[in-house]
């Protein structure tokens, strides 16, 4: 297993099915903050469903189609980032994130996302990294801006959630736009 230091108090590590109890406890804490924006948070309501979410990502990682990582702050899982889709053939992937209140205000999602973006461009040769955000999710949209992404547009009424249709903003970053030296995190 690898650990990537995001700073002197936080780490980025893979999230795996054996960590389902810790993941479930974290999602229970995070639910009030992420549920309005991330419908999959409602899928982890007990140990079986939390394990299933992490197993789906493990299976997708084995297929080189997605990955999920946790962010630990002072030893506590407080959020995560993931490649929600990863298509090496087309050179396009999408990054997503979530964070509970205890992890906010430390720049952790930006640092972790930079690590994923840098890996996607440098190691895997991806051409485009996307960021999809619910139109009302100002925190997510601001993160896309901090990462240097460009707003490509809005998919109006893209998805149903809790009886309403919601718009989805699409943001992206192209490989030749990535300024990796200033964007990289410190490796330990």
- pLDDT tens, position by position, 126-142: 999 999 998 888 999 99
Domain of 174? 8-183
In a domain, 66, yes or no: yes
- pLDDT tens, position by position, 9-26: 999 999 999 999 999 999
CA distances from 68 to 85, 90, 95, 113, 179 (A): 10, 20, 10, 12, 24
Q: How confident is the model at residue 180 (pLDDT cuts 50, 70, 90)?
A: low
Q: What is the CATH number of the domain that holds 38?
A: 3.40.630.30
In which element (H, E) is residue 140 found?
A: helix 138-146
**Rounded mean pLDDT of the chain?**
90
Model confidence, pTM: 0.89
In a domain, 153, yes or no: yes
Domain count, the chain: 1
Q: How confident is the model at residue 144 (pLDDT cuts 50, 70, 90)?
A: very high
- pLDDT tens, position by position, 37-56: 776 677 889 999 999 999 99
113: its two tokens: 């996302």
CA distances from 14 to 2, 29, 71, 158, 187 (A): 7, 20, 9, 30, 15
How far is Cα 185 from Cα 182, in angstroms, rounded to an integer?
Answer: 8
In which element (H, E) is residue 29 found?
A: helix 20-34
Q: Which string of DSSP letters, residue by residue, matches 63-122? A: TTS-EEEEEEETTEEEEEEEEEEEETTTTEEEEEEEE-GGGTTS-HHHHHHHHHHHHHHH
126: its two tokens: 């991806």
List all residues 6 or more positions away from 82 whose beta carbon is below 8 Å from its beta carbon: 57, 66, 67, 68, 69, 95, 96, 97
In a domain, 3, yes or no: no
Q: How confident is the model at residue 29 (pLDDT cuts 50, 70, 90)?
A: very high
In a domain, 80, yes or no: yes
In a domain, 188, yes or no: no
Q: How confident is the model at residue 65 (pLDDT cuts 50, 70, 90)?
A: very high
In a domain, 82, yes or no: yes
- pLDDT tens, position by position, 90-114: 999 999 999 999 999 999 999 999 9
Q: How confident is the model at residue 1 (pLDDT cuts 50, 70, 90)?
A: low
pLDDT of 182 strictly over 60: no
How far is Cα 172 from Cα 125, in angstroms, rounded to an integer?
Answer: 16
In a domain, 2, yes or no: no
In a domain, 1, yes or no: no
């Amino acid at each position: 297993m690898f650990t990537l230091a995001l700073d002197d108090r936080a780490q980025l590590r893979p999230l795996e099915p054996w960590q389902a109890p810790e993941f479930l406890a974290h999602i229970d804490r995070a639910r009030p903050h992420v549920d309005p924006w991330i419908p999959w948070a409602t899928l982890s309501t007990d140990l079986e469903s939390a394990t299933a979410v992490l197993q789906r990502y493990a299976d997708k990682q084995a297929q080189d189609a997605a990955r999920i990582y946790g962010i630990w702050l002072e030893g506590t899982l407080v959020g995560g980032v993931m490649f929600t889709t990863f298509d090496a053939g087309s050179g396009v992937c999408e990054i997503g994130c979530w964070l509970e209140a205890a992890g906010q205000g430390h720049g952790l999602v930006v640092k972790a996302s930079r690590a994923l973006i840098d890996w996607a461009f440098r190691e895997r040769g991806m051409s485009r990294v996307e960021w999809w955000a619910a139109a009302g999710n100002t925190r997510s949209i601001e993160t896309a801006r901090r990462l240097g992404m460009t707003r490509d547009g809005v998919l109006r009424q893209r998805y149903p959630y809790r009886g309403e249709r919601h718009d989805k903003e699409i943001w992206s970053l192209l490989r030749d736009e990535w300024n990796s030296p200033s964007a990289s995190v410190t490796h330990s």
